[in-house]
Amino acid sequence: MKIKTKKLHKDALIPVYSTESAAGADLFCLCEEDITIAPFNTVFVKTGISIEIPQGYMGLIYARSGLACKNGLAPANKVGVIDSDYRGEITVALYNHSDTGQTVVNGQRIAQLVITPVLKAHFETAENLSHTKRGGGGFGSSGT
């Protein structure tokens, strides 16, 4: 699959897969100056690119495991969603989970982008739902 990628700035880097089997393509920070994210705060980090996702697909922005586990930086909304009709700049809301300031620099890998199919559901009103063993058991009800 080809994803058209537009550089909004000459120094922007297009997404790349770090390995042949990687599911997510790395997104890169585009900034003129280093960005320090204070503990327990969110900063919107620009990538300098926009993309054209085909109809029937979406982009999901996930944390990079190393950045999240070692530095405490991960998307504030846990998983960002890019709809196929969005043509604006991809921006990552990075949240600092650590108790110290964390700095991101121009060209640093800040998140990963996964392109995936979208399944559209058709919701309809029903008087009854099918019975299951779990029933209405909520959080933690299926585990031990």
Q: Which two tokens stand for residue 91?
A: 């921006």
Tens-place pLDDT, residues 58-76:
999 999 999 999 999 999 9
Residue 64: how many CB atoms within 10 A of its CB?
A: 21
Domains identified in the chain and CATH numbers: 4-117 (2.70.40.10)
Q: How far is CA 69 from the centre of its chain?
A: 16
CA distance 88 to 116: 19
Q: What is the pLDDT of the chain when averaged over all its residues?
A: 95
Q: Against a cut of 0.85, is the pTM above it?
A: yes
Query: What CA–CA distances, in Å, run from 120 to 8, 56, 59, 86, 129?
Result: 31, 9, 15, 18, 20
Place of tokens 């700049």: 89
Write down the pLDDT at residue 143. 67
Write down the pLDDT at residue 140. 77
Tens-place pLDDT, residues 78-103:
999 999 999 999 999 999 999 999 99
Tens-place pLDDT, residues 30-66:
999 999 999 999 999 999 999 999 999 999 999 999 9
CA distance 132 to 144: 18
Q: Is the confidence at residue 134, as pLDDT, over 90?
A: no
Nearest by Cα to 93 from 20, 24, 9, 37: 37
Contact in structure between 41 and 96 (CB atoms under 8 Å): yes
Q: Is the confidence at residue 142, as pLDDT, over 90?
A: no
